[in-house]
Amino acid sequence: MAETLTHIGQTEPRPTGWEGIAADWSSDQRAFKNVSWGKAMMWIFLLSDTFIFGCFLLSYMTARISTRVPWPNPSEVFALRIGGSDIPLILIAIMTFVLISSSGTMAMAVNFGYRRDRRKTAILMLLTAALGATFVGMQAFEWTKLITEGVRPWGNPWGAAQFGSSFFMITGFHGTHVTIGVIFLIIVARKVWRGDFDTGRRGFFTSRTGRYENVEIMGLYWHFVDLVWVFIFAFFYLW
């Protein structure tokens, strides 16, 4: 059992459950034991970002339930004509599959990172980045298709103007998150490949050394972006 020193210097078994949480929060130095600064910062950032996406989605729902004009039917709007028949939501199904898969490769990258397997970690991170880029590419395709069909932020042929506004705004904001993630995945993969986390090479901007934990922190962000997509998928495409 893990042991800890209390504030009076005695060694005693570390309490678990709620008592453990209370003990950690009333201790000195750190409220979250064994959580590094970077990881804590990422979690708190993601909490803040959750509020941003939450506000976006709530605003979209408000617009959708309060409009008096019919809302375009997502099954028809997001259908692709393949082999002579309209398949509803096929593109979005593939996109979702790609993005969820990228979470799997990311998780594997984290695993190999902690095993110090530089090659596999870097390859899996680049694969994650490639899947993310594919997602963004397909999103660009979807945007192009909708734009050619006449969907604009200020109106569309089928109903409420807020459909196009919300769609471009929310998927655009999410796509920006994915793009930023892809860029950082490539940066961190390069650091892993070069062995920066083994040699203690300092960051160009921050002049700080990094650790393999950075792969996990990167992964937190990536899984968050995927999780947000699940909500966008459910509220925008399935509703």
Partner 1 sequence: MVDITPADGIPPAEVAEVELYHPHSWWTKYVFSQDAKVIAIQYSATATGIGLVALVLSWLMRLQLGFPGTFDFITPEAYYQFITMHGMIMVIYLLTALFLGGFGNYLIPLMVGARDMVFPYVNMLSYWIYLLAVLVLVSSFFAPGGPTGAGWTLYPPQAIMSGTPGGQDWGIILMLSSLILFIIGFTMGGLNYVVTVLQGRTRGMTMMRLPLTVWGIFTATVMALLAFPALFVASVMMLLDRVLGTSFFMPAISEMGEQLPHNGGSPILFQHLFWFFGHPEVYIVALPAFGIVSDLISTHARKNIFGYRMMVWAIVGIGALSFVVWAHHMYVSGMHPYFGFFFATTTLIIAIPTAIKVYNWVLTLWRGDIHLTIPMLFALAFIVTFVNGGLTGLFLGNVVVDVPLSDTMFVVAHFHMVMGVAPILVVFGAIYHWYPKATGRMLNETLGRFHFWVTFLGAYLIFFPMHYLGLMGVPRRYAELTDMTIMTESAHHLNSFISIMAFIVGFAQMVFLFNLIWSIRHGREAGGNPWRATTLEWQTPQTPPAHGNFGKDLPIVYRWAYDYSVPGAKEDFIPQNMPGSFGPSREPA
**Binding letters toward partner 1, positions 164-203, x by CB under 8 A:** xx---x---x------------------------------
Does position 56 interact with partner 1 (CB under 8 A)? The reply is: yes
Size of the site for partner 1 (CB under 8 A): 51
Does position 9 interact with partner 1 (CB under 8 A)? The reply is: yes
Burial of 228 (0-12, 13-18, 19+ CB in 10 A): buried
Residues 22 and 29: their CA atoms lie apart, in Å, by: 14
Among 106, 162, 175, 216, binds partner 1 (CB under 8 A): 162
Residues in the chain: 239
Spell out the residues 6+ positions from residue 51 whose beta carbon is closer than 8 angstroms to its own: none
Measured from the CB atom, the residue of 68 and 81 that comes closer to partner 1 is 68
Cβ–Cβ < 8 Å for 218, 132: no
Does position 16 interact with partner 1 (CB under 8 A)? The reply is: no
Measured from the CB atom, the residue of 42 and 108 that comes closer to partner 1 is 42
Q: Give, as one character, the DSSP assignment of residue 73.
A: -
CB of 203 to partner 1, least distance (A): 8
Q: Name the strand (E) or helix (H) holding 57.
A: helix 37-66
Residues 171 and 91: their CA atoms lie apart, in Å, by: 14
CB of 111 to partner 1, least distance (A): 25
CB of 116 to partner 1, least distance (A): 20
CB of 142 to partner 1, least distance (A): 19
Collapsed DSSP state (helix, strand, coil) of residue 12: strand
Q: Pull the structure tokens for residue 3.
A: 């042991």
Question: Which residues make up the interface to partner 1 (CB under 8 A)?
Answer: 4-9, 25-33, 35-38, 40-41, 44-45, 47-49, 51-52, 54-56, 59, 62-63, 66-69, 153-154, 160-162, 164-165, 169, 173, 205-208
